A = this chain, B = another copy of it.
Amino acid sequence: MKNKLITIEGIEGVGKTTAVKVIQDYLIQQQREFILTREPGGTEMAEQIRKILLTPHAEKITPEAELLLMFACRAQHIENIVIPALQADKWVICDRFVDASYAYQGGGRQIDMAKIQMLDQWIAGTIQPDLTFLLDASPEIGLARAKNRGTHDRIEQEKLDFFERVRHVYLKRAEKFPERFCVIDATQTLEKVQHELTMKLDELFASTHYAH
């Protein structure tokens, strides 16, 4: 398949939304059909679970329940949205994907990585990103930016050390999978971030050999 699955990862406040927009504009310019989606969510049911996951509750949500809910959403999303889009020759841009479970539930919540890997292999299987942009910044910078957005969801309310663990796992995964990860310093100017995103997309397109 010449169409690709591109994912955008990073902690709160690193500019994922802007990056998604840059990628979207790039694909429009290249006249590629694509869908824009997100995790947790992307289907009606997964969005309902997203709401439960991100709303602050009086009830303590266990790390295990959080992880299983993420992968339940993912099963729905992959089966009903991602696979049909890829089969219809569309590109898929996804705001957070499996790497986020390693980072947030593995790093942040400190769940055994082997459990996450087992769920990854079972639920995502061969559906792995072709390209993953990791927007990287320290939690101090990210959270300060996110603060300006106002209210925080349940996970965004976590403390600094939580996000330090999340960032650490993200960076370790980027090291482990250099062939698909592109780490971008999110503290640069918007123009520089846009430039790096575009350069990488140019590279991806050059290697994709579209028949024109």
Contacts and interface: CB of A to CB of B under 8 A. Distances in A.
Given A48-B52, A52-B48, A60 B80 contact: yes
A65 B59 contact: no
Nearest to A78: B62
- Residues of A contacting B: mostly: helix
A41 to B, nearest CB: 12
Interface in A26-40: none
A88 interface: no
Interface in A43-92: 43-45, 48-49, 52, 57-62, 64-65, 68-69, 71-73, 75-76, 79-80
A76 B48 contact: no
A7 B115 CA distance: 28
B45 A59 contact: yes
A76 B52 contact: no
A184 interface: no
Contact of A72 (B58, B69, B115): B69
B57 A79 contact: no
A76 B49 contact: no
A123 interface: yes
B122 A64 contact: yes
A171 to B, nearest CB: 28
Contact of A62 (B58, B60, B76): B76
Contacts of A57: 44-45
A127 interface: no
Interface in A109-146: 115, 118, 122-123
A93 to B, nearest CB: 21
Contacts of A65: 45, 72-73, 75-76, 79
Nearest to A67: B72
> In the complex, which of the residues A44, A60, A62, A118 has the most CB atoms of chain B within 10 Å of its own CB atom?
A62
Given A64-B72, A68-B68, 4 more contacts: A45-B61, A64-B122, A68-B71, A68-B123
